[in-house]
Amino acid sequence: MKEGRSTMLYGTLLLTCTGLVGQVLGFFYRIALSRMIGAEVMGLYQLIMPVYAVLLSLTAVGLTAAVSNLSARFHALGRRGAVERTLTVSLRAFLLLALVLGAGVVVLYDPISICLLGDARTQLGLLLLPACVLLTGVENLHKHQFYGTGQVRAPALVELAEQFVRTGAVLGLLAVFLPQNAERTVGLIVAGMILCEVFSAGTLVALRLRQRRHDTRPPGPREPRLGRQIAAVALPIGATALLGNLLGSANAVLIPARLVAAGMEVSYAMSAFGVLCGMTLPMLTLPTAFLGALNLLLVPRLAESTALGRKKEVHRRIDRALLAASAVMLPATALMAVVGPAIGRALFHEATVGEHILPLAVGVVFSCYQGVLSAALNGVGRQPAAARNALLSGAVQLAFTAALTGIPGVGLRGFVLGFVASSLLGMVLNAASLMRAVGLPLRLYAWFAAPGLASLLMGLCCNLLFRELLRRGLAELPAALGCALFGAVLYLAALSAQGVGLSDLISGWRKDVKKL
């Protein structure tokens, strides 16, 4: 808790390491969960998650962004009292919203489950969700104040421990109480999530109080109109998250319903939905732990540089973020497109896990760039632009799902096409908005072309190698591991041959460290 001001390099590396461990643990948690509950119950669980996201967007998402952004700004200006006051005001607003909306869900759980979600077996999970939302919001507000003030270690370690607690709590409850019917099984999963949030929220609150007692620095002048400043950040981001999650919720409800309209049985449609959203997409997004860490720190760091009027530093941070995103995500998704189906079959014991993996991998790449550019827009104070672009992207996804998924013979391919098209649109819109906002010099070759070509070469060669290893009798998982090692060496060599080695990224990070 006494760590100094964290550099972006240190923070990103720490969050990446803990995030990767958490992602790997979460991936195996999903494997164990899917084996214990089956694809159909996994689909039911995925059906209530959009409700959870909507409740968080109504209560915590905007306030969390405000705490991160304003804490970074006030911390850079030496206004410790304003940092603490920002968290206090945001907590009060969140608790009021969470209690009111939670009571509404408890009262209306029956029509929500039947009329909105289309399946009464989600009722017990809905009844337990408000408690989970309340604890998650408290956790996130405290976590993002740590991140905003440059203190990464404590929340990162708590988040990592949270993954272990969630895995133990959920799988432990299922191991003790299964077999149960589908509704009670979903309820057990949410109950495990609540136990996990009790740990993380309680730990972060205790750490924050301990730090406050030991902080002897003067609080600085009282910040005028703090409520308005919080609202100016929270309202556009919260509204965007709400509308986006409403679109996502409608999309999640539409997928199984439109599959049934296309001729599938209800149980098979729910299973297909569970495999796609609960197995295939999480497997593809496994490498995104790095980007999650990067985006989490990029917003407050850009807010800090913007507040101090350092335009060149803003350009440099965005440039390094895009380089890092390309250097990691392009080869990772290229490799997953090759070996993902085999990994899915071996780990999830589901033959359909690898369906549509190539177009989904392309969509994941676009969505990663969309996320980095959206974080940059939020960091430089262009929240309305990020909001507008996200909503347009979500509307395109929903339109594809509604129009195509219910057509016999198309089915889930309609959702996949929408995923690719909406992610591409969001990426392009965010890039255009960011160029207008900060006048960032374009480096398309270094950002996209060079790592993209190196990743394409790696993917094609790994595809040939993987097929040859399987033909010679090697098992799928060892063959996939061999392809990963070979692909990493080939990718670095191809990148270096184009004159855009990883030294470009590392040297830029070193400059950031020296300046800080």
What are the boundaries of each domain within the chain?
1-250, 309-343+445-516
Length of the chain: 516
On the question of pLDDT at 323 being above 80, the answer is yes
On the question of pLDDT at 352 being above 80, the answer is no
Q: Which amino acid is at 287?
A: P
Average pLDDT, integer, range 299-308: 76
Q: Which of 121-135, 146-160, 389-403, 410-424 has the lowest mean pLDDT?
A: 146-160
| pLDDT for res 12 | 54
SS3 264: coil
On the question of pLDDT at 507 being above 70, the answer is no
Interval 246-281: pLDDT, tens:
877 787 777 877 887 777 777 777 777 777 777 778
On the question of pLDDT at 454 being above 70, the answer is yes
DSSP letter string, 409-473 = TTTHHHHHHHHHHHHHHHHHHHHHHHHHHH-PPP-HIIIIIHHHHHHHHHHHHHHHHHHHHHHTT
On the question of pLDDT at 72 being above 70, the answer is yes
**Could you tell me which residue, 428 or 47, shows the higher pLDDT?**
428
Average pLDDT, integer, range 25-38: 80
| Model confidence band, residue 502 (pLDDT cutoffs 50, 70, 90) | low
Interval 175-217: pLDDT, tens:
998 888 888 999 999 999 999 999 999 999 998 888 777 665 5
Q: How many whole angstroms separate alpha carbon 254 and alpha carbon 400? A: 11
| pLDDT for res 220 | 58
Does this model's pTM top 0.75? My answer is no
Neighbour-count burial of 185, counting CB atoms closer than 10 A to its CB (0-12 exposed, 13-18 middle, 19+ buried):
buried
Q: How many whole angstroms separate alpha carbon 355 and alpha carbon 363? A: 14
136 touches 205 (CB < 8 A):
no
Cα Rg of the chain, angstroms: 23
What is the percent of the chain where pLDDT is above 90? 14
**Could you tell me which residue, 133 or 323, shows the higher pLDDT?**
133
Q: How many whole angstroms separate alpha carbon 400 and alpha carbon 251? A: 9
* Count of C-beta atoms within a 10 Å radius of residue 132: 23
| pLDDT for res 420 | 92
Among 30, 229, 48, which Cα is nearest to 133's? Answer: 48
| pLDDT for res 514 | 40
**Could you tell me which residue, 289 or 312, shows the higher pLDDT?**
312
On the question of pLDDT at 348 being above 90, the answer is no
| Residue given tokens 């308005």 in the structure block | 228
Q: How many whole angstroms separate alpha carbon 329 and alpha carbon 324? A: 8
Interval 459-473: pLDDT, tens:
899 999 988 888 888
Q: How many whole angstroms separate alpha carbon 292 and alpha carbon 16? A: 8
Contacts of 383 (CB under 8 A, 6+ apart): 65, 233, 236, 237, 240, 377
Q: Which of 229-243, 344-358, 381-395 has the lowest mean pLDDT?
A: 344-358
On the question of pLDDT at 3 being above 60, the answer is no
Tokens of 242: 């709400």
Q: How many whole angstroms separate alpha carbon 333 and alpha carbon 368? A: 11
- Tell me, rounded to whole angstroms, the distance of Cα 67 from its chain centroid: 18
Contacts of 349 (CB under 8 A, 6+ apart): 35
What is the percent of the chain where pLDDT is above 70? 89
SS3 236: helix
Contacts of 95 (CB under 8 A, 6+ apart): 134
Long-range contacts of residues 249-254, Cβ cutoff 8 Å, at least 24 apart: 249/50, 249/51, 249/53, 249/54, 250/398, 251/394, 251/397, 251/398, 251/401, 251/415, 252/46, 252/47, 252/49, 252/50, 252/277, 253/47, 253/50, 253/116, 253/117, 253/118, 254/398, 254/401, 254/402, 254/405
Mean pLDDT over all residues of the chain?
A: 81
| pLDDT for res 218 | 56
| Model confidence band, residue 15 (pLDDT cutoffs 50, 70, 90) | low
On the question of pLDDT at 512 being above 70, the answer is no
**Could you tell me which residue, 239 or 93, shows the higher pLDDT?**
93
| Model confidence band, residue 513 (pLDDT cutoffs 50, 70, 90) | very low
